[in-house]
Amino acid sequence: MTASLEIVARAARGWLGPRPLILGICGSQGSGKSTLARGLVDALGVRAATLSLDDLYLGKAARAALARDIHPLLATRGVPLTHDVALGRAILDAVRAGQPVRLPRFDKASDEPLAQAQWESIDAPLDLLIFEGWCVGAQAQPAADLIAPVNDLEHAEDPDGLWRRAVNAALAGPYQALFARIDRLVLLAAPNFDVVRGWRAQQEAALRASLVEQGRDPALAMSDMQITRFIQHYERITRAILQEMPGRADLALPLGPDREVIGKT
């Protein structure tokens, strides 16, 4: 059992109670949140399932409509506005009510949601749903913080701030209604944003290997150049999370560059 799994499992045992627990795990790309979520399901010995924020992504056609109607950068999955938040709320509400539920899944190689026939069916009431994602529990930024671009992508492709204001408005509105359903929040805190690119590259290498095993085209995984551009979509909110969330998460685990736990708050 890894240090992060041991620490979070111990805390989760104390949080479990008579009603289903919705446990949020926030962590940047490649921080190990999905691995931690799967480990918790195995370690806790209760009726548990996982839902990733990634599995709520809209398909390419829906994002193309957002790109046309609001801003071209919304064609790329990732930021608030590119998820089916209503579906997420419905799932969390069903879990809370002890009802059967179907959990969606998203195929990152094809950049599309899987067909509903491939979703995971949960028939028995759950004791625990782990809801993990890169911005789970995040809060909107003050308007003044949106003025200056944080990277080359924002500077070149969002010079007037329309994209980041639209994303921030979504985070302030429907996403807060989704995150309000979380009972406890755990943060896996990267040491800084600079390590995220390397962590994401490791994820893409693993995806490439998996595609080869499946007999699919490994070129469906991102190239180094694509990774560099892709993570800039996430940079603003990730930096804000690392700054403000440690002080309010129920459990924050600072990580080192190799994802090792270097503390607990």
Q: Does domain 1-253 have CATH number 3.90.79.10?
A: no
What lies within 8 Å, CB to CB, of 262 at 6+ separation is 254, 255, 256
Strands (DSSP E) contained in the chain are 21-27, 48-52, 101-103, 106-107, 112-113, 120-122, 128-133, 184-189, 251-254
pLDDT band at 72 (very low <50, low <70, confident <90, very high): very high
User: What residue spans define the domains of the chain?
Assistant: 1-253
**Do the bridges between strand 48-52 and strand 128-133 make them parallel or antiparallel, or are there none, so unpaired?**
parallel
Tens of pLDDT along 144-168?
Answer: 999 999 999 999 999 999 999 999 9
Residue 1 in this model has a pLDDT that exceeds 70? no
pLDDT band at 106 (very low <50, low <70, confident <90, very high): very high
Residue 264 in this model has a pLDDT that exceeds 80? no
Range from 73-87, 132-146, 189-203 carrying the lowest mean pLDDT = 189-203
Residue 130 in this model has a pLDDT that exceeds 90? yes
Position with higher pLDDT, 199 vs 150: 150
Mean of pLDDT over the chain: 95
